[in-house]
Amino acid sequence: MKKEIADPNYKGTVVEHDVKDYVSPDDFVVSIIDRHVEKSKVNIKNSPIIISGGYGVGSKENFQLLYDLANVLGAEVGASRAAVDAGYAEHERQIGQTGVTVRPKLYIACGISGQIQHIAGMQESSLIISINNDPGAPINAIADYVITGDIEKVIPKLIKYYKKNSK
Ligand SMILES: Cc1cc2nc3c(=O)[nH]c(=O)nc-3n(C[C@H](O)[C@H](O)[C@H](O)COP(=O)(O)OP(=O)(O)OC[C@H]3O[C@@H](n4cnc5c(N)ncnc54)[C@H](O)[C@@H]3O)c2cc1C
């Protein structure tokens, strides 16, 4: 979470609650026997560039286009919840309210409409590029650059021209 600036004039009150007033010992029927935290294979939070795909990417096979672009740019691949639910990408790549919050230098949203639950997880990116075939997609309102078109046509062109113009 982003650290808020302290307000010296804010006056809070401390309310002490006794847990016994709300739950009885019978409510604690689960005991933790062991904890096992699996290490994430995806380092999405620390990536300076994220290529993120939504339901508009259309299929798991089409997501390969995003990995191709990510390879060229040295980026990670993220996803919207709709893309994760459709099986296009793994859950650990989900960005948004119920996924991870990211603040990369560059966020390229491909086929993502821009619902509030997704925006919540990426709106503080330094630069946002939206690739969408709907010029009225809500994400375009927060994007710095908008490319209107199908990702199947736009991404191969981005790869081609990036390779052509970079050493
Ligand atoms: C409690 C709750 C929590 C949620 N948490 C999250 C969360 O953490 N993260 C999250 O992302 N969502 C979350 N959601 C879901 C969210 O509300 C949206 O449903 C979801 O973000 C939509 O994903 P999308 O933009 O990929 O899909 P859609 O809304 O279906 O948008 C697809 C977009 O792709 C475009 N498109 C279609 N075809 C192409 C093409 N060929 N080329 C280019 N563009 C194309 C369309 O114009 C459209 O803009 C949550 C919802 C709830 C209720």
How far, in Å, from the CA of 15 to the mean position of ligand 1?
A: 40
More confident residue, 164 or 128: 128
How far, in Å, from the CA of 84 to the mean position of ligand 1?
A: 10
**Token pair recorded at residue 40:** 């994430």
**Of 3.40.630.30, 3.40.50.1220, 3.10.20.600, 3.30.390.50, which CATH number belongs to 49-165?**
3.40.50.1220
More confident residue, 117 or 34: 117
How far, in Å, from the CA of 113 to the mean position of ligand 1?
A: 5
Q: Is 94 in the pocket of ligand 1 (CB under 6 A)?
A: yes
User: DSSP letters along 39-101, please?
Assistant: PPS---TT-SEEEEE-GGG-STTTHHHHHHHHHHHT-EEEE-HHHHHTTSS-GGGBBSTTSB-
- Does this model's pTM top 0.75? yes
- Condensed to tens digits (0 to 9), the pLDDT of residues 54-80 reads 999 999 999 999 999 999 999 999 999
Write down the domain spans for the chain. Answer: 49-165
Strands (DSSP E) contained in 59-159 are 76-79, 106-110, 127-132, 145-148
**Is residue 27 very low, low, confident or very high in pLDDT (cuts 50, 70, 90)?**
confident
